[in-house]
C-alpha cells in the first residue's frame, strides 16, 4: 500500500455537499455533472474517481435519510412506556431528525429512480418505519387509551405528510426549535387520537 496523496481529503465531501444542494433545489435529473464539478471547484476526473456514476452520489445521499431512524423508533418502543408517551417521543424524534436533514429530505421527496434496487431498498425501509409507527397506534387502541374511531393509517399519514413537507417551510433560523414543533404536532395528534 503506497500512500501517494491524501486519500480522502475533502474533495469527496465537497462533491457530496454541492450535489446535495443542487439535487435539493433543482432536482436530480435537472442537475448536470458538469454543474456539480464546476460549483465544487473540481474536475470530472475527480468526480468519477470517487464515484462510479452520478446515481451513486444520489444513493449515498439517500442513505442518510432513513439510516438510523428505524432503529431509533425500535429503541423508543423497546423502552416500554405507555402508548401516549411512546408515540409522543417518536413524533418529536422524527420531527427533530427531519429538521436536521432538510435537504436530504427534499431530495428524497422528489423521488425518481422508481426501478433502481437502491431506491426500492429505501422504500422498503421507509415502509417498515411506517409499519412500526402504526403498530404503536394499534397497541394504544387495543389498550383502550386511543379511540378506535381514528384509523392508524390516516393518523400516520398526517404525521408523515407533515414531516415530508417540512423541507418546504421549515427554516432553522425560525423562532420555534424543531423539538418545539415536534411537541406541538404531538399535542395535536395525540389529542385527536384520544377522543
Partner DNA sequence: ATAGGCATACCAACCGGTCGGCATTGACTT
Partner DNA sequence: AAGTCAATGCCGACCGGTTGGTATGCCTAT
* Residues near a second copy, by CB under 8 A: 25-27, 29-30, 109-112, 114, 149-151, 154-155, 157-166, 169, 181, 184-185, 187-193, 195
Q: How far is CA 75 from CA 112, 124, 168, in A?
A: 31, 19, 29
Binding partner of residue 171 among DNA, a second copy, none, CB cut-off 5 to 8 Å per kind: none
Considering only residues 12 to 31 of the shown chain, the ones binding DNA according to CB under 7 A are 31
Rounded to whole angstroms, how far apart are CA atoms 126 and 12? 27
Build a one-symbol-per-residue string for 80-119: x at contacts with DNA by CB under 7 A, - elsewhere. ----------------------------------------
Q: List own/partner pairs for 33-41 with CB under 8 A and 24 or more apart.
A: 40/11, 40/14, 40/15, 41/14
Site for DNA contains 180 (CB under 7 A):
no
Written as one string, the DSSP assignment of 39-52 is HHT--HHHHHHH-S
Binding partner of residue 169 among a second copy, DNA, none, CB cut-off 5 to 8 Å per kind: a second copy
Q: Give least dist CB 3 to DNA, A.
A: 4
Rounded to whole angstroms, how far apart are CA atoms 98 and 181? 11
Nearest residue to 98 via CA among 2, 90, 27:
90
What sign for the dihedral angle of Cα 89, 178, 176, 191?
A: negative
Considering only residues 32 to 71 of the shown chain, the ones binding DNA according to CB under 7 A are 32-35, 42-46, 48-50, 52-55
Q: Which residues are at the interface with DNA (CB under 7 A)?
A: 1-7, 9, 11, 31-35, 42-46, 48-50, 52-55
Amino acid at each position: 500500500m503506497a500512500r501517494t496523496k491524501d486519500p480522502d481529503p475533502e474533495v469527496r465531501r465537497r462533491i457530496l455537499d454541492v450535489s446535495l444542494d443542487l439535487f435539493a433545489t433543482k432536482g436530480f435529473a435537472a442537475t448536470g455533472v458538469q454543474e456539480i464539478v464546476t460549483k465544487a471547484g473540481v474536475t470530472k476526473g475527480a468526480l468519477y474517481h470517487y464515484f462510479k456514476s452520478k446515481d451513486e452520489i444520489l444513493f449515498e445521499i439517500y442513505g442518510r435519510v432513513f439510516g438510523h431512524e428505524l432503529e431509533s423508533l425500535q429503541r423508543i418502543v423497546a423502552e416500554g412506556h405507555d402508548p401516549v408517551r411512546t408515540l409522543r417521543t417518536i413524533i418529536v424524534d422524527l420531527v427533530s431528525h427531519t429538521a436536521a436533514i432538510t435537504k436530504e429530505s427534499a431530495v428524497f421527496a422528489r423521488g425518481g429512480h422508481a426501478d433502481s434496487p437502491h431506491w426500492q431498498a429505501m422504500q422498503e425501509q421507509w415502509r417498515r418505519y411506517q409499519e412500526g409507527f402504526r403498530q404503536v397506534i394499534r397497541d394504544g387502541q387495543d389498550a383502550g387509551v386511543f379511540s378506535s374511531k381514528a384509523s392508524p393509517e390516516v393518523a400516520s399519514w398526517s404525521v408523515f405528510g407533515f414531516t415530508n413537507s417540512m423541507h418546504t417551510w421549515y427554516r432553522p433560523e425560525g423562532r420555534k426549535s424543531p423539538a418545539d414543533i415536534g411537541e406541538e404536532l404531538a399535542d395535536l395528534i395525540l389529542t385527536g387520537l384520544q377522543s
